[in-house]
């Protein structure tokens, strides 16, 4: 149905059977979801096709009238009107098809981004960030090109029918020439699609791999430049280039072959048709103007030859659709429908196990964080502290066990309830929104006072007010240092009226004075909220009420920092003492 939205259920239906058939169903459904834009584009295209079909007949009548000595005839006037109408229809169709494809691409992007927002970080990590950007931007636009395939297919159908009818009216024997050539053209187009589908998919995959590596390199460009490893990094990024080159060359070679084959077929058909009609003109059975019409109708009757161009567009659209479908097939984090319970922010971790890449990151963790308590998660590089914080924040779905907030498992809470209970800040926060204030609200209905209060708690209010438009400054016009970015990430977490704060290395880029200020907020001025802090600074652990000491995915001990400090192995976590043998 035209205008029917694309839903997860329809995507599941489209992907059954896999391969190009599933991507074809998805691309067609995307075009139908274009609604009135699709209808308008198809209508304008059809009007232009009908006028193009009428044009040869009108032209023949006008030519015959001029040859008969009529200076200004009705036929000539009608020809002018048809040409004007055809021009208007062509311009309108081009505008509507281009705009309609842009609207469809926009809707696909919204669908993909909305789906990604509900996918856990671990599952989203299956596709590189650069490759994801390529799929969300380029592949959705290419998939929307299915609208062009639809309009071209309608044009081909109308042209073929008009051409056959026109030739039948002028010289029925010419149909034999066309009907003999049509199967040849169809076979050539089918073979082209079969030969190039896998090449196009390989091309897109290699392109996505290069984009993913490039984005990863850009995020660490200073490190790469400082280490003097620019050339090795360039070679690493471009490693998939030979695959892309081979696939691209095979595709364009195949397109070149089918183009010259069709290029020979069309003149041969026109020669046969004009030969038959020419004999008719010579014997007086056919008028001269009809010979011009026959030449035009011969080209139109071989509309099947347009299958080569349509097939190229279809292969590109459906190869891109297959890559979009892969994103939509990423599993969504489970969420329930329960509202937020009453409570003080007590966090209970039960038997939590998380695995990643064949390695057990957390192994059966049991932990209780009483409401209103601050706890530091401390451990070495492979302790699993960040994974535990991510699970408490509801960002990582555990392989076993569960996290409860005030007695309710996170997975049973509605998305709105969960986001209202827990707020998070990270080492490298991503600011989303048009202005600084939008980024701090992140969709929450916060007042200006709440936003400013959160910024003040994160020691960010002063530098935000120094920006050109203060909190109304566009993010694009607000160059931020690493420390300022972290402070805005903290401000975003502090501004939300949540019961649990989760900070994962969120103060690593802060200067000492700011870190002390934020730590004081966490330990003394957090308004009764629970706080779970992952950090590597000694002062952070010392200021928290409790410390959860993790070692290689296991919970080694939970106690105040002062009690743990007597253990040399604990001190070694902060680089304060060597770990004794057997510790």
| Most confident of the following: 56-60, 186-190, 332-336, 351-355 | 351-355
pLDDT at 573 over 70: yes
Three-state SS for 115-159 is: HHHCECHHHHCCCCHHHHHHHHHHHHHHHHCHHHHHHHHHHHHHH
Measured in degrees and rounded to the nearest 5, phi and psi for residue 377 equal -95, 115
The pLDDT value given to residue 160: 80
pLDDT at 14 over 70: no
The pLDDT value given to residue 333: 76
Looking only at the bridges linking them, the beta strands covering 546-551 and 374-378 are parallel
> pLDDT for 94-129, tens place per residue?
899 899 999 999 999 999 988 888 887 667 777 877
Quote the DSSP letter at residue 338.
B
Q: Sheet holding 359-369: strands in order across?
A: 359-369, 347-356, 400-405, 408-409
Contact in structure between 462 and 513 (CB atoms under 8 Å) = no
Q: How many residues does the chain have?
A: 583
For helices 288-301 and 146-170, what crossing angle results, to 10°? 140
Question: d(Cα 247, Cα 241) in Å, to the nearest integer?
Answer: 10
The pLDDT value given to residue 579: 45
| pLDDT band (50, 70, 90) for residue 576 | low
The pLDDT value given to residue 308: 62
Rg (CA), the chain: 33
Q: Which of 154, 8, 27 is nearest to 101 (CA)?
A: 27
Read off the tokens for 365.
Answer: 């963790």
Segment 276-293 mean pLDDT: 77
Contact in structure between 129 and 216 (CB atoms under 8 Å) = yes
Across the chain, how many H-helices and E-strands are there? 24, 10
Q: What is the dihedral of CA 283, 289, 295, 299, to 10 degrees?
A: -140
Segment 484-493 mean pLDDT: 89
| pLDDT band (50, 70, 90) for residue 6 | low
Read off the tokens for 204.
Answer: 């897109």
> pLDDT for 120-164, tens place per residue?
766 777 787 778 888 888 889 888 888 888 888 888 888 888 888
Average pLDDT, the chain: 82
| pLDDT band (50, 70, 90) for residue 349 | very high
Read off the tokens for 234.
Answer: 């360039």
| pLDDT band (50, 70, 90) for residue 306 | low
pLDDT at 394 over 80: yes
Question: d(Cα 418, Cα 495) in Å, to the nearest integer?
Answer: 16
| pLDDT band (50, 70, 90) for residue 560 | very high
pLDDT at 18 over 90: no
* Residue 130: how many other CB atoms lie within 10 Å: 21
Question: Which CB contacts under 8 angstroms, 24+ apart, belong to 64-68?
Answer: 64/287, 64/288, 64/289, 64/290, 67/288, 67/289
Question: d(Cα 89, Cα 44) in Å, to the nearest integer?
Answer: 6
Measured in degrees and rounded to the nearest 5, phi and psi for residue 267 equal -60, -35
Tell me how far apart the 2 most distant CA atoms of the chain are, in Å: 115
Contact in structure between 530 and 421 (CB atoms under 8 Å) = no
Read off the tokens for 137.
Answer: 């931007």
The pLDDT value given to residue 500: 92
**Close Cβ partners of 64 (under 8 Å, ≥ 6 residues apart):** 75, 287, 288, 289, 290
Looking only at the bridges linking them, the beta strands covering 347-356 and 400-405 are antiparallel
Domains of the chain as residue ranges with CATH: 8-328 (1.20.1560.10), 347-573 (3.40.50.300)
Segment 389-399 mean pLDDT: 87
> pLDDT for 161-195, tens place per residue?
888 888 788 888 878 887 787 788 778 777 777 77
Q: How far is CA 576 from the centre of its chain?
A: 46
The pLDDT value given to residue 572: 87
pLDDT at 367 over 90: yes
Q: Which of 46, 26, 28 is nearest to 147 (CA)?
A: 28
Contact in structure between 400 and 351 (CB atoms under 8 Å) = yes
The pLDDT value given to residue 17: 46
For helices 19-32 and 146-170, what crossing angle results, to 10°? 90
DSSP string, 51-70: HHHHHHHHHHHHHHHHHTT-
């Amino acid at each position: 149905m035209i205008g029917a939205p694309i839903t997860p259920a329809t995507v599941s239906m489209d992907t059954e059977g896999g391969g190009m058939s599933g991507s074809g169903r998805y691309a067609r459904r995307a075009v139908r979801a274009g609604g009135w834009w699709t209808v308008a584009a198809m209508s304008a295209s059809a009007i232009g096709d009908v006028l193009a079909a009428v044009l040869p007949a009108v032209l023949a009548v006008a030519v015959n009238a001029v040859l008969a000595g009529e200076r200004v005839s009705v036929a000539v006037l009608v020809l002018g009107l048809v040409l004007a109408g055809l021009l208007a229809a062509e311009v309108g169709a081009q505008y509507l098809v281009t705009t309609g494809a842009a609207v469809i691409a926009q809707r696909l992007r919204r669908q993909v981004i909305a789906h990604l927002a509900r996918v856990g970080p671990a599952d989203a990590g299956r596709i590189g960030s650069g490759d994801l950007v390529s799929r969300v931007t380029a592949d959705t636009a290419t998939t929307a090109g299915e609208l062009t395939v639809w309009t071209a297919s309608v044009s081909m159908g109308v042209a073929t029918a008009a051409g056959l009818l026109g030739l039948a009216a002028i010289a029925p024997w010419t149909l034999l020439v066309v009907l003999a050539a049509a199967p040849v053209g169809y076979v050539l187009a089918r073979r082209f699609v079969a030969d190039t589908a896998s090449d196009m998919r390989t091309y897109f995959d290699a392109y996505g791999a290069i984009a993913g590596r490039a984005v990863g390199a850009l995020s660490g460009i200073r490190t790469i430049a400082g280490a003097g490893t620019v050339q090795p990094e360039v070679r690493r990024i471009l490693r998939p280039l030979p695959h892309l080159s081979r696939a691209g060359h095979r595709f364009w070679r195949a397109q070149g072959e089918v183009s010259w084959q069709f290029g020979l077929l069309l003149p041969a058909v026109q020669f046969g048709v004009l030969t038959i009609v020419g004999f008719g003109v010579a014997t007086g059975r056919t008028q001269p103007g009809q010979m011009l019409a026959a030449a035009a109708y011969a080209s139109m009757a071989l509309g099947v030859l347009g299958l080569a161009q349509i097939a190229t567009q279809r292969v590109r659209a459906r190869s891109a659709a297959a890559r979009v479908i892969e994103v939509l097939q990423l599993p969504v984090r489970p969420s329930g429908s329960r509202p937020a319970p009453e409570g003080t922010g007590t966090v209970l971790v039960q038997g939590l196990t998380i695995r990643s890449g064949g390695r057990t990151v957390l192994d059966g963790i049991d932990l209780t964080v009483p409401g209103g308590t601050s706890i530091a998660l401390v451990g070495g590089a492979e302790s699993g502290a960040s994974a535990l914080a991510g699970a408490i924040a509801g960002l990582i779905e555990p392989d076993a066990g569960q996290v409860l907030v005030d007695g309710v498992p996170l997975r049973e809470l509605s998305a709105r309830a969960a986001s209202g209970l827990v707020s998070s800040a990270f080492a490298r926060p991503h600011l989303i929104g048009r202005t600084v204030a939008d980024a701090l609200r992140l969709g929450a209905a916060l007042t200006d006072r709440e936003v400013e209060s959160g910024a003040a708690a994160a020691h960010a209010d002063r530098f935000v007010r120094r920006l050109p438009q203060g909190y109304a400054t566009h993010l694009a016009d607000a160059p931020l240092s690493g420390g300022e970015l972290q402070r805005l990430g903290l401000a975003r977490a502090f501004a939300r009226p949540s019961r649990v704060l989760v900070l994962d290395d969120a103060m690593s880029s802060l200067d000492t004075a700011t870190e002390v200020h934020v730590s004081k907020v966490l330990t003394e001025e957090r308004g009764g909220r629970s706080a779970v802090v992952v950090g590597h600074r000694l002062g952070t652990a010392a200021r928290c009420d409790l410390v959860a000491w993790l070692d290689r995915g296991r919970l080694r001990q939970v106690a105040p920092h002062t009690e743990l400090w007597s253990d040399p192995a604990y001190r070694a976590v902060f680089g304060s003492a060597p770990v004794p043998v057997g510790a």
